[in-house]
Amino acid sequence: VTGASFVVFNGALKTSSGFLAKSSIVEDGLMVQVTQETMESLRQALREKKNFKVTCGKTDAGDMKEYVDICWVENEEKTNKG
């Protein structure tokens, strides 16, 4: 689990890169590079206020995957006040 001050979603990852998605720490935030298809699915999930999971890692990495979970919460008192 990683806490971050901000998250950047970049939809410029090419399908031919060999990655499902890539995540990396940038200063005190998180950058998630996704394909255009995943970006469109993410946008739709945000519009509908639905949870969304981005699977990061190489396409042929087997079980070695990282996940970025976007979750909507009902009780805002437990979230970051910043």
Q: Give the architecture-level CATH label for domain 6-70.
A: 2-Layer Sandwich (3.30)
Whole-number pLDDT of residue 2: 63
Contact yes or no for 70/51 (Cβ under 8 A): yes
Contact yes or no for 35/9 (Cβ under 8 A): no
For 47, phi then psi, to 5°, come to -60, -40
Q: 51 burial class (0-12, 13-18, 19+ CB within 10 angstroms)?
A: exposed
Eight-state DSSP code of residue 16: G
pLDDT in 10s for each residue of the chain, 82 residues: 667 789 999 999 998 999 999 999 888 899 999 999 999 999 999 999 999 999 999 988 777 789 999 998 877 666 566 5
**C-alpha span between 7 and 74 (Å, rounded):** 20
What is the per-residue pLDDT across 8-25, written as a single tens digit (0 to 9) for each? Answer: 999 999 989 999 999 998
